[in-house]
Structure 1
Amino acid sequence: MKRIRVAFFAEILEKDLDGATRTMFQLIKRIDPRRFEFLFICGVGPDELYGFECFKIPTVNLPINSGYSMALPGLYYYKLKYKLEAFNPDVIHIATPSLLGSFAAKYAAQRAIPVISIYHTHFIAYIDYYLKHAPFLIKAAKSLTAGGQRAFYNNCDKIYVPAETIKTELIALGVEAHRMTIWKRGIDTRLFSPAKRDTALLYGVTGNTYPTIIFASRLVWEKNLETLIAIYNHARHIALKVNFLIVGDGIAKSACVQSMPDAVFTGKVDHETLSVLYASADLFLFPSVSETYGNVVLEAMASGLPCIVADGGGARDFITHGENGFKCIPHDASDYIEKIKMLLQSVALRRQFAEESLNFSSNFKWEHLAEIYFNDLHQMSDVITPQYQQL
């Protein structure tokens, strides 16, 4: 049986760096070596993954996003070209529309190799934050980004998008609808579960028995941290006796600590610890409007935690307002406070949201999503390609 050869391009292949890499590894760890042969091309990663080679190329660190780097395929142009020609891929998977992604897309186009991509990051939503000190550049930057996204994704044969909201926004940018397939994300309900509740551990973290509101994310400004800080200040202004538990790390952490002096900051924690914190808290708060999907919201829901999220970005698609959570006006701290108070005052409402969230999250299985992905690779590899041009 001939194995299908897949060249997999990604900037970074570190297992738990963020939601995008966690999604990639859910697929990578399920590769059947009897059916597939993978070649991973990345800037940062191990020498091999599950028995398959990782071909690493030079990178440059990104000053606007600590901990992230960008691969520079131009510095390894011929080495990378020869590696790919020796591998002779049937399908190309591109994680990101970056320099590396553009190289892969051009290589695929000139050889008529089918391309699959998963839409991980809604870059255009970040521009308001990156250019908040130069607002006169925002319109031009969004136009440039939209053009780049449109050009890249319209050269992909299949794009997995996680939410109808994101699909609609991409169509508005000019990405062709027929290329997109709704492909959500899975959740490990054995890891994230109400059974992980440990009030003693939470007391050790907070030092009191007040209700605990948890926020979990990378601490970067594009997560709408200004609104999180405003909610905290509003809660303190009205003397609302709650704990704010902030889980995560990032370039904005020091500013958040300074702005929220009574909040509890855990830094980055492993998934086992995170699952206990979710299950032990009382409410999950997530004001980000830049999410492509919002893995943390689904994790909180699977933990039986009532959620209050922004009515913006992909994360809002999880919530049916008033049934399994609340959606708030994205930058209106008073709206969030109103919904927080409603939940804290009603045991019945918290129980309803928790039960509905558990029912909702139980439908998201990685095994099913992986089966779709690998079946699509198989179908795409059956496409007969014409003679290619020289790169």
Structure 2
Amino acid sequence: MEKAAAEQQQQQPQQLELMVTDDQASATESDAQIQPKSKSQSLATESRDDFPSFLKGKRLLLVTESLGPVNGVSRTTLMLIEYLRKNGMQLAIVAPHSKQSRLKPSVQDTSELRLPGYPLPYNPDLTVVYPFQLEDVYKQTFKPDIVYLASPASTGFQFLLQIRQLQEPPVVLLNFQTDLSAYSEILFPGPVARFSVWLLGVVQGFLFSHRSVHTIFYPSSGIRRYLLKAGAPSSRLVQLGRGVDTELFNPSQRDEAYHKELAPNGELVLVCVCRIAPEKGFDFLAQVARRLVEQSFPFKLLIVGGNLNPEVEADVRRLFDPVKDHVIFTGFLTGASLARAYASSDLFLHCSITETFGLVVLEAMASGVPVIARDEGGPSDIIRHGTTGYLVPPQDVDTFVDLVHRFSDKPLLSTMAVDARQYACDTTWDKINKRVAWQLAEGLHEHLRLKRKKRPIRNWLANRYYGFKSGVVQPIVVRFRLNFAILLVYIVWMMAAIVLIIYGNKVFSRTGHLLRNIPVIFQENHYQTFKQGFREAFKQLTTPQK
């Protein structure tokens, strides 16, 4: 019977590991993968300055929520892909379909699987992936030694839910890069927001605490507190910052002619780089700009970024109508053009309070540009207050504006620019990705060590009854659990889709936004938008559908 089971496994190499249990600790396959004593010694003796040789040739399934759009998750993930591929790992990439492909791996022979889904109405860069089966993903890529989840959301959650149904799941490492709860609080109306935050905490705590999860990377102290509150095991939390390309983002990219074009009368050039979306703090930035104009402060504000949803971008642009003579929108920039925009500016303004890290802050500092940021989220751990920039209480517009005034002092601007550059030079991508590689190596080594752990009684029983269990019992149990998990995904997906479709509709979204901001809509610059929103809603609701 054992022989028949072995032949069956050989005939179906691409199927999920439905028949494998911890009882197979003494199996030949595990022996071939690792000799614990020798590998443990090699990991201990290898220099941490080098890539761990243990990982060379290992198969890593990298699952990311974003690959292609210009954002922090895409850029961080791409740098890791290039690093691991260059050092000899076998990679397969799984990501949602994306209309954008400005950022993509330079190595063309890496396997890439795109999953279909529903683009978020307010941010088409991000997609809620339709339910899928893990077995289908494995068939189109490979069965991995390691699963790495970058910024897990709709894709990563489905992976975690299905992985935990397996008798012997692969080792999982995840990088918590997007604070979905903070986005929910900003984007959804009150009751929906509170329910979303609660539900996210429950789901994340449940999924992140499974035995297959070896490491949870987090970018800042605020996110650590959130994860602990959600129920993530503290022993698995590892802080991981971001790297920055100090050759690309460099003060040498400064273009004085471009600076003169932006500020022909010697104004201070302020820059903000991010996706144009409501959760990025543009209402706060618009208030800062209006105050500066009221105080006759000479400045130009360069806003770098865009949004695939033109209505969302138009709504943000309207916030700056009262100060439009002082504001320049560039649209999306990448590469040398983005580096020039950073370095040709004088001061970086960061107004988002939803960033888990804030890679743009580090890029600005690498470009020799000091930063003023609201003191919440990732930037709080990056900026050295009074040295590389300033941190301001999140709702304190007056202090923010006063600090902008300080940078009229050229010696202060020059000193902070040098300090900011020096700080950024200590945070290279090579150092960051090397830390990830060593966590991958330790996670896989520990996973295989536990897999081989001797259990004499269980192993004796396994050798007697393995054929029956693997051929009859386990496939039924695991298949039932997987199908139940997929059914649960479908139910949750439909619940989420209904909320997103309703809230993403321009009638509901604009009217809902205005209702949440009753105290300010009667200000002069909001009144026309208020009337327009309700007229549009009434017109669409009363027009017969064709």
TM over 0.5: yes
If asked which structure has higher relative contact order (CA below 8 Å, sep 6+), I would say: 2
**Over aligned residue pairs, what C-alpha RMSD do you find?**
2.3
Q: Secondary structure of the residue that 1:187 maps to in structure 2?
A: coil
Q: Secondary structure of the residue that 2:329 maps to in structure 1?
A: strand
Tell me the equivalent position of 1:370. Answer: 433
Post-superposition Cα deviations, 1:314-368, rounded to whole Å, max 9, x if no partner, equal 1121112222211112122211111111122x22322221122112111101112
Residue 128 (1) aligns with residue 188 (2): no
Tell me the equivalent position of 1:144. Answer: 199
Residue 347 (1) aligns with residue 410 (2): yes
The one-letter code of the counterpart of 2:332 is K
The one-letter code of the counterpart of 1:247 is V
Is the alpha carbon distance of 1:88 and 1:253 closer, same or farther for their aligned partners in structure 2, counting shifts above 3 Å? closer
Residue 3 (1) aligns with residue 57 (2): yes
Matches within 5 A, 1:61-210: 61-74=119-132, 79-80=136-137, 82-83=139-140, 87-109=142-164, 110=166, 111-131=168-188, 134-155=189-210, 156-210=213-267
Whole-angstrom distance in 1 between the partners of 2:301 and 2:154? 39
Whole-angstrom distance in 2 between the partners of 1:35 and 1:228? 45
Q: Which of the residues 15, 39, 57 maps onto 2:92?
A: 39
Tell me the equivalent position of 1:59. Answer: 117
Q: Secondary structure of the residue that 1:240 maps to in structure 2?
A: coil
Specify which structure has the higher proportion of strand.
1
Aligned residues: 384
Residue 255 (1) aligns with residue 318 (2): no
Is the alpha carbon distance of 1:323 and 1:78 closer, same or farther for their aligned partners in structure 2, counting shifts above 3 Å? closer
Offset at 1:81? Answer: 5.0
Indicate if the aligned counterparts of 2:96 and 2:127 stay in contact, CA closer than 8 A: yes
Tell me the equivalent position of 1:29. Answer: 82
Is the alpha carbon distance of 1:280 and 1:56 closer, same or farther for their aligned partners in structure 2, counting shifts above 3 Å? closer
Tell me the equivalent position of 1:220. Answer: 277
Q: Secondary structure of the residue that 1:145 maps to in structure 2?
A: helix
Residue 266 (1) aligns with residue 350 (2): no
Specify which structure has the higher proportion of helix.
2
Is the alpha carbon distance of 1:138 and 1:107 closer, same or farther for their aligned partners in structure 2, counting shifts above 3 Å? closer
Indicate if the aligned counterparts of 2:278 and 2:316 stay in contact, CA closer than 8 A: no
| Bigger mean CA offset, 374-383 vs 293-302 | 374-383
Indicate if the aligned counterparts of 1:117 and 1:160 stay in contact, CA closer than 8 A: yes
Indicate if the aligned counterparts of 1:57 and 1:73 stay in contact, CA closer than 8 A: no
Q: Which runs of no fewer than 5 residues in structure 1 stay unpaired?
A: none
Is the alpha carbon distance of 1:136 and 1:103 closer, same or farther for their aligned partners in structure 2, counting shifts above 3 Å? closer
Offset at 1:64? Answer: 2.7
Offset at 1:78? Answer: 5.2
Q: Secondary structure of the residue that 1:66 maps to in structure 2?
A: strand
Offset at 1:236? Answer: 1.3
Whole-angstrom distance in 1 between the partners of 2:93 and 2:191? 40
Whole-angstrom distance in 2 between the partners of 1:316 and 1:325? 11
The one-letter code of the counterpart of 2:411 is A
Offset at 1:34? Answer: 6.7
The one-letter code of the counterpart of 1:20 is V
Indicate if the aligned counterparts of 1:8 and 1:39 stay in contact, CA closer than 8 A: yes
Q: Secondary structure of the residue that 2:112 maps to in structure 1?
A: strand
Whole-angstrom distance in 2 between the partners of 1:73 and 1:168? 30
Offset at 1:292? Answer: 0.7
Is the alpha carbon distance of 1:160 and 1:83 closer, same or farther for their aligned partners in structure 2, counting shifts above 3 Å? same
Q: Secondary structure of the residue that 1:157 maps to in structure 2?
A: strand
Post-superposition Cα deviations, 1:42-62, rounded to whole Å, max 9, x if no partner, equal 222689854121122322221
Structure of greater Rg:
2
Percent sequence identity is 24
Indicate if the aligned counterparts of 1:229 and 1:256 stay in contact, CA closer than 8 A: no
